[in-house]
Structures are given as C-alpha cells and as structure tokens.
C-alpha cells in the first residue's frame, strides 16, 4: 500500500479546499475505497475524511419529496420511517446490498461512487484493464465475462455498475446534489453515471474536486406498488447478475406512471423512458410487462459468457412488475 496523507475535514468548505490537492480522495465509510487502496488499484496521496460532516440527515423537503445526506449510512436510510413508507423501492434495494455490517458503515455518497467488481480491475497483477490502466486493453473481452454488461458496453470496457441503491435511485428519478470549485449543481441520476465509451476510467460525470452533498427524491415515491428484485448466485452478500427496480402508480385499474431500471447489466443503472411510457395508460398485464421488458432490453449485446442474462433480465423485469402490480 502506497503511503498517503489523512485529514479529517471540519467543514464542507475545508473539504472542498483540501479536495483540490493532487491525488486527493474523499473518504466516507471506506468500504470500497480502502479495499481499492490496499490492493493498489487506486493510489491516493491524500484521504479527506468527510464522514463527520453534517450531511447525514434524512429530511422531508418543502415540495413533498425527501433529501438524503451524502453521509447517511445505508442502514439508516433503509430503515428510516420516511424512506420505508414513502420510498419502499429504495429501502428494499439498500437492504438487498452487501451485508448488515457493510450497510452500517457504507454511506450514500460512497455508494454512488462504488467501482465495478470486474475481477480484472481488482487484480493489479493482471496487465489489461482500461479502467485501471487506460490504454492497456480489456481482459474481460474474450476473457471471463459471465458477470459483465449486455447493454451500453464498448470495445474498451464491458464492466457493470455494482450498486443496488443506485438502480432504485435511477428508477425514482432522483437528483444528486454536488458542490465544487465552481459552485453547487444538481445532476439527474440518469446523467450521474457514464457509459464506458473510450474513457472507462471515468465512472461518473462529477468534475474534479466536486463533493456529493446529498440526494433529492421527488414527491412521488411509488409507495403503493414497488418491488426490487435481485437475482444473484447466492442468497446474500453477492452482487447482482441482474436486478430490477420496478414501481407502478396504479389507479382505477390503470397504470398512470411507471418507474423501471435495471442493475447488473450495464456500466450504469439502465433505464429507458420509452419502456416506462409503454406501460402508462394500460392495465397491468403480462403482455404489457413483456413489451416494456423488450423495450428496456433493446440493443442488448451479450459477451461470450453472459448470453443467459438476456433471458434472465426479461423474466426478472416481468416478475418484478407482476409483483409490484399485484400489491394492494
Ligand atoms: Fe477493466 Fe472494464 Fe475490461 Fe473489466 S471490463 S477488465 S474493468 S476495462
């Protein structure tokens, strides 16, 4: 492990000032970053501990939505009464992730910045990984790629985004609030994570030195009909092969609005508004759910070992929508 400096930020302004230091990384719960640093995958020069900043609250907002502070722990958010009752999709997704110990430690800001679990990325003894060493090639293309992307991948990288929380946030159309050297801005979840293209080393659209302050949820939490379905190789403490965040607003037997996003299939939570629009105005039915699934998966291109994900994803989408739609 390369030696690094450590500073505990006493204020957001101090964190932002320190964040301009070359090689600086913000440290929340450390459940991913410390592993990466220990393995030499990232080599921080300075860790800026932001975990004690006053950004851990979950509060109702004036517009009827909710704000979740970036330093709120995953367990606290999942079990918060406001989230459990108004945004059950998010609560379910958080509880599907990692283990209780990790959820107690991990922060919402850190979860947004989780790196891929591609094994070639974590193995520094392996030469070819464009995400870790830009320009070195991709070991997963033509290598072990059972867990990799079937949508939105590039020749440079076929990694998947690992978070469950982010899939629910994408479906719920959350916004990420950040502050940096150029001030404060809000980024739609759909635009926060990137597809790999030619620059897979960049996971997000955060600019240099920007600190995540929190996440805003809109007033409509789809509380009545929401289901997070995670399909994985074992029942707990495993990343998704495919996951589905599905929620419906059903009134009078007709779908008035729909929220749908996939995890485990792309470099970012995968959402396509056309798939949601296909459901609106229709009665919940297997036919409508299947058509929405086909739209969401349009353009899928499996790698050599993960063709099964296409069938799995279609079935998971339909099942998640059936479960959400069947709720009272
Ligand atoms: Fe690296 Fe991406 Fe290829 Fe994995 S899929 S080896 S993260 S470039």
Instruction: List per-residue pLDDT tens for the chain, 328 residues long.
Output: 789 999 999 999 999 999 999 999 999 999 999 999 999 999 999 999 999 999 999 999 999 999 999 999 999 999 999 999 999 999 999 999 999 999 999 999 999 999 999 999 999 999 999 999 999 999 999 999 999 999 999 999 999 999 999 999 999 999 999 999 999 999 999 999 999 999 999 999 999 999 999 999 999 999 999 999 999 999 989 999 999 999 999 999 999 999 999 999 999 999 999 999 999 999 999 999 999 999 999 999 999 999 999 999 999 999 999 999 998 6
Q: 157 in ligand 1 pocket by Cβ < 6 Å?
A: yes
Q: Could you tell me the residue ranges of all domains in the chain?
A: 5-51, 58-107+169-217
- Cα–Cα nearest to 244, from 154, 312, 176, 301: 312
CATH class of the domain at 5-51? alpha beta
Cβ–ligand 1 contact at 303 (below 6 Å): no
Task: Please name which of 130, 91, 55, 40 lies closest in space to residue 247, comparing C-alpha atoms.
Answer: 91
Q: From the CB of 279, is ligand 1 less than 6 Å away?
A: no
| Stated length of the chain | 328
Ligand 1 atom having least distance to the Cα of 158: 5
Residue nearest to atom 3 of ligand 1 (CA): 138
What does the pLDDT read at residue 327? 80
83 Cβ inside 6 Å of ligand 1: no
Nearest residue to 140 via CA among 167, 125, 161, 160: 160
Distance 54 CA to ligand 1 centre (A): 36
Beta-ladder partners of 187 = 176
Query: Residue 257's closest CA among 278, 271, 243?
Result: 278
CATH level 3 topology of 58-107+169-217: 3.30.465
Distance 149 CA to ligand 1 centre (A): 10
| Burial 118-155, CB ≥16 within 10 A → b, else e | bebbbeeeeeebbbbeeeeebbbbebebebbbbbbbbe
**What's the rounded Cα separation, in Å, for the pair 239 and 118?**
11
Q: Which atom of ligand 1 is nearest to the CA of 145?
A: 5
> What per-residue confidence (pLDDT) applies to 328?
63
Q: Which ligand 1 atom is at minimum distance from the Cα of 143?
A: 6
């Amino acid at each position: 492990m390369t030696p690094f400096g450590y500073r505990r930020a006493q204020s957001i302004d101090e964190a932002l000032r320190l964040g301009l230091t070359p090689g600086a990384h913000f440290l929340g719960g450390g459940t991913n970053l410390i592993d990466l640093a220990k393995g030499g995958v990232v080599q921080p020069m300075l860790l800026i501990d932001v975990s004690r900043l006053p950004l851990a609250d979950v509060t109702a907002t004036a517009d009827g939505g909710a704000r979740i502070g970036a330093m709120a722990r995953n367990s606290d958010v999942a079990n918060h009464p406001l989230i459990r009752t108004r945004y059950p999709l998010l609560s379910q997704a958080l509880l599907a992730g990692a283990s209780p110990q990790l959820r107690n430690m991990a922060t919402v800001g850190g979860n947004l910045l989780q790196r891929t679990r591609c094994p070639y990325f974590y193995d520094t003894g392996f030469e070819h990984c464009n995400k870790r060493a830009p320009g070195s090639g991709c070991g997963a293309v033509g290598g072990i790629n059972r867990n990799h992307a079937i949508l939105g991948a590039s020749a440079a990288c076929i990694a998947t985004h690992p978070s469950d929380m982010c899939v629910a946030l994408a479906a719920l159309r959350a916004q990420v609030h950040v502050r940096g050297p150029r001030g404060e801005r809000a980024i739609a979840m759909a635009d926060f994570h990137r597809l790999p293209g030619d620059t897979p080393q960049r996971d997000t659209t955060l600019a240099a030195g920007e600190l995540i302050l929190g996440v805003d949820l809109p007033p409509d939490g789809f509380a009545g009909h929401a289901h997070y379905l995670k399909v994985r190789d074992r029942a707990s403490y495993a990343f998704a092969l495919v996951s589905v965040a599905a929620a419906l607003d059903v009134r009078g037997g007709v779908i008035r609005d729909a929220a749908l996003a996939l995890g485990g299939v792309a470099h970012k939570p995968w959402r396509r508004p056309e798939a949601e629009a296909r459901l609106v105005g229709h009665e919940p039915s297997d036919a409508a759910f299947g058509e929405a699934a086909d739209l969401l998966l349009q353009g899928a291109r499996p790698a050599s070992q993960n063709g099964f994900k296409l069938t799995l994803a279609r079935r998971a989408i339909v099942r998640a929508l059936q479960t959400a739609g069947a709720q009272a």
